[in-house]
Every structure is written in C-alpha cells, then in structure tokens.
Amino acid sequence: MNFKTICVSALLAFSIFSSAADEQYAASDTSVLGAHEHGKALLMLVVDGNEMQLALQSAAQTIVGFEQKASTAEQIAEIAAAIEVFNRGEWFQFNADANCEVTAAETNTDLLDAKFNRGHADFYANYQLLCQQPARLKQLDLQLFSLLPSLQQLQVQWVINGRQGAADANLNNSTIRF
Ligand SMILES: [Zn+2]
C-alpha cells in the first residue's frame, strides 16, 4: 500500500464513518464520537507528499443557528454568507515555514440540498493546499472559535505523510501541534 492509497483510505474511512453516523443519528437520535453534535465539529487533515486536504464538518446549527430548510430571505443570505466565509479559508493558519497555500476551496451544506428532510443538517468545507515544506508542518492555528461563538470543541484528526494523530481544540486552546 503506498501513501496515496493510505490517504485515500483514510479519507474514505472518514467519510463512510460520517455518513454511517448520520444515518444512525437520523434513526436513533444518538450521535457517535461527535458526529453531528451541536457545538462540536470535526476537522480531518491529510497530507500526501506536498498536497494537503482539509475537511471540516459541522452541524449547521453551530454555523448559521438553524437546521431547517431555509425559508426566509434572511436565512438564505446567512447560508450564502457562511459559504463565502468558509470558501475564503482564512480561519486556519499553518506555521509559516511549511509554506502552505490554499489552492481550492469548496463549501456545501445539506441546507441547500433539494432532497434534504432529515431534521439535522451539516456544513462541509473542503480545502486543497499545496505545502512547499511539508516536513516542517508543526502547528495549526484555528480562528474558528471567534468566527463561530457556539462552537465549543473541534476534533482534529490528521495523517501527515503516514504520521497519524488527533487532538481537540477549543476557544482557550486553539493551536494544534502535530
Ligand atoms: Zn442538528
């Protein structure tokens, strides 16, 4: 198994886990390891060579304050504003000498899914970055907590060129060290 396979597997495992947890949540109203818990969010980081993928998943409640299908112009505007903020990708910073740059960003939410009717909705912000010095990746600073006052905990999981780790961040401890 090469690095690419490992990383793709890690991402797949993560997304399969997330959708399984969603289904379980819908069925039993319980959540697994923070998947769709209001006030908590998940951040998955995978570095393969000098390419990084960053995937944030959060309950819509934590981001825009509601999870029912947007019905007012104000709610639609709030969703659009949140998507714009996340697409800007300015809520995270890696230590500068790793020299990482966002090359693509895409934010989605169940709230914009025409078939959405689950009663719970998530936001998904996905980023691709290019890091010139991935071996120097040491630290991730998160400004997510000032952006989202109702976010209490961010679970961060990473696979950096085969090296795995996990840590929780919160308002008072918003720097992750790999
Ligand atoms: Zn919810």
Domain-located, residue 27 = no
Distance 176 CA to ligand 1 centre (A): 26
Domain-located, residue 63 = yes
Give CA angle at 130 (128, 131), nearest 5°: 130
Domain-located, residue 26 = no
pLDDT at 2: 43
Expressed as residue numbers, the domain containing 165 is 3-21+32-177
Identify which of 53, 156, 75 has the alpha carbon closest to the alpha carbon of residue 121. Answer: 75
Distance 1 CA to ligand 1 centre (A): 37
State if pTM tops 0.85.
no
Distance 38 CA to ligand 1 centre (A): 6
Total tally of structural domains belonging to the chain: 1
Residue-by-residue pLDDT tens, the chain, 178 positions: 444 444 444 554 454 444 444 444 443 334 444 478 999 999 999 999 999 999 999 999 999 999 988 889 999 999 999 999 999 999 999 999 999 999 999 999 999 888 877 789 999 999 999 999 999 999 999 999 999 999 999 999 999 999 999 999 999 999 999 9
